[in-house]
Structure formats: structure tokens, C-alpha cells
């Protein structure tokens, strides 16, 4: 059995995977509904309309769905990375490199599908709240395509990052909570500490933290990294975590 076939078989048979995917879609729809209700009027620009169905709010905000994806990806590694389940995995797929690569690829593809489905559901929710006027927004105008693509890339990278952290920590619940806390607690605190401790030329380095950089993919302007640079920085964090996971997984004992 190839590594990809093994992962696809496991994907079809593990109910928690589908429950998590539906949960991510539901979380995104709820965030869109709350923001749409708060606005009480159709967004004035196409960019803000796109942000309502991605980040849930105008401005560079971390999507709740991305945090849920990363959190769930960490926990998903828990059972398989310990004890008899790890032994079964390594007996079925003794080549650890391809096994880990297959898991990362399937995780990314699943997250991408969930992101696309989530965008469609969020658009329906916003349309239900705002009415026909929401459909008249110029969806083909700049920066709408970039924001929608950025949302998909965001969820894909967040899922792979969570997966890598899960492999590194054997799916530790504490690690999952730490990843979920990064965008809303840890990174803002680091930014404030940088403003107090560091000299003026070095205070902007916190923009290169994972989720701070990723949020720029959903921005329509303002200070900070360019959207493409933000995507690149977040991708670098993800690749670094994945390389660390590969090293640990290659040396891990099946006990």
C-alpha cells in the first residue's frame, strides 16, 4: 500500500476528520454572520466585502477558522504518534519520509477543500444577511481575488503548521492550546514587549511572527508587510516546522 492510499483510506474511515472539517466551516460561517450583523449595511468596497467572508471583519484579522484548523491538526496527530498506533503505521509504511510527506500533502489538500467550501458557505451567509445588494459588489475587482486566494492559502499553511507541531509534540493538548493562543495572545504580547524593550529600528520585527505575517494576506492596505511577503514568511515558518517534524519522526521509536 502506498503512503497516499493509506492516508486516503484513513481519511475515509476516521469520523473525527469529517466532524472537524464541518466544524471549521461552521465556525467560519458563524464569524461571517456575526460581523455581517454588526455592520448592518452592505460593505462599501469590494475589498471589505471579501474580508467579511474571509477574516470575518474588515482589517487584517486572524480568521477564527484558521486557528481552529491549526488546533485540530495538532490534536489529530495524538493517537497515531503514540504506542501501538505508531507501531501499526510503521509496519504498514516502513519508509518514514514518504509516510510523513503523504500525511502533509493530504492535510494540505483537505484544508484547501475545507477553505473553498467555507468561502462558499460564508458568501451564502453574508448574502442572507445583506440581501441582493451584496451580490452586486464587484467581486472581480482588486483585491478580491487576492483575498479569496489568501484565505485558502492561509488555511492550508495553518493546517500543515499544526500538523508539524503535532508530530513534534505527539499531538500534545498543551501544544494545541499554545498554537491556538499564538495569534491572539502570544504574538500581541511579544509585539508590546518589543515596543518597550527594543530600539526604534528593530520594533517591527514582530511583523515576521507566524500569524502576524499570515494576517497580511487578508489585508487591503495599512502598515506592515506586503501580502505576498506575509505569505512567504508564514510559509517559511511552516516549512521550518515541517523539517523539524521530519527529523523527529525519522528518529522516533515506536513506543
The dihedral sign for the CA sequence 64, 187, 51, 59: positive
Which residues span the domain enclosing 181? 3-251
237 in Cβ contact with 210 (< 8 Å): yes
Determine the pLDDT at residue 163: 93
Task: Go through 214-235 and write b for each residue having 16 or more CB atoms within 10 A of its CB, e for each that does not.
Answer: bbbbbbbeeebbebeebbebbb
Weakest mean pLDDT among 65-74, 135-144, 155-164, 176-185 = 135-144
For cell 474511515, the residue is 13
Cell numbers linked to 50: 471579501
Torsion sign, CA atoms 230, 236, 237, 239? positive
Q: What is the pLDDT of residues 5-31, one digit of tens each?
A: 777 777 776 777 888 889 999 999 998
Q: What spatial distance separates the first Cα and last Cα of the chain, rounded to whole Å?
A: 23
Alpha helices in the chain (DSSP H): 3-13, 15-39, 46-52, 64-76, 83-92, 96-130, 144-169, 173-181, 187-197, 210-215, 227-251
Closest among 234, 249, 231 to 102, alpha carbons compared: 249
Domain count, the chain: 1
Percent of the chain with pLDDT over 70: 91
Residues 6+ apart with CB under 8 A from 93: 1, 3, 6, 99, 102
Which tens digits make up the pLDDT trace of 104-152? 998 999 999 999 999 999 999 998 988 888 877 767 777 889 999 999 9
Amino acid at each position: 500500500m502506498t503512503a497516499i492510499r493509506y492516508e486516503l483510506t484513513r481519511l475515509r474511515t476516521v469520523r473525527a476528520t469529517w466532524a472537524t472539517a464541518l466544524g471549521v466551516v461552521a465556525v467560519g460561517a458563524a464569524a461571517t454572520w456575526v460581523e455581517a450583523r454588526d455592520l448592518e449595511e452592505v460593505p462599501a468596497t469590494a475589498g471589505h466585502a471579501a474580508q467579511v467572508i474571509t477574516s470575518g471583519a474588515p482589517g487584517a484579522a486572524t480568521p477564527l477558522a484558521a486557528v481552529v484548523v491549526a488546533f485540530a491538526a495538532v490534536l489529530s496527530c495524538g493517537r497515531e504518534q503514540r504506542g501501538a498506533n505508531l507501531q501499526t503505521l510503521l509496519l504498514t509504511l516502513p519508509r518514514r519520509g514518504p509516510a510523513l510527506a503523504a500525511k502533509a500533502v493530504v492535510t494540505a489538500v483537505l484544508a484547501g477543500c475545507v477553505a473553498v467550501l467555507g468561502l462558499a458557505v460564508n458568501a451564502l451567509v453574508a448574502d442572507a444577511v445583506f440581501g441582493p445588494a451584496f451580490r452586486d459588489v464587484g467581486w472581480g475587482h482588486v483585491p478580491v481575488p487576492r483575498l479569496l486566494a489568501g484565505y485558502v492559502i492561509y488555511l492550508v499553511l495553518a493546517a500543515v503548521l499544526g500538523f508539524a507541531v503535532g508530530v513534534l509534540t505527539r499531538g500534545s493538548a498543551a501544544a494545541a492550546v499554545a498554537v491556538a493562543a499564538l495569534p491572539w495572545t502570544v504574538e500581541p504580547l511579544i509585539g508590546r514587549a518589543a515596543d518597550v524593550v527594543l530600539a526604534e529600528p528593530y520594533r517591527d520585527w514582530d511583523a515576521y511572527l507566524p500569524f502576524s505575517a499570515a494576517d497580511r494576506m487578508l489585508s487591503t492596505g495599512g502598515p506592515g508587510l506586503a501580502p505576498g511577503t506575509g505569505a512567504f514568511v508564514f510559509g517559511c515558518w511552516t516549512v521550518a516546522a515541517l523539517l523539524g517534524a521530519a527529523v523527529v519522526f525519522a528518529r522516533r521509536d515506536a513506543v
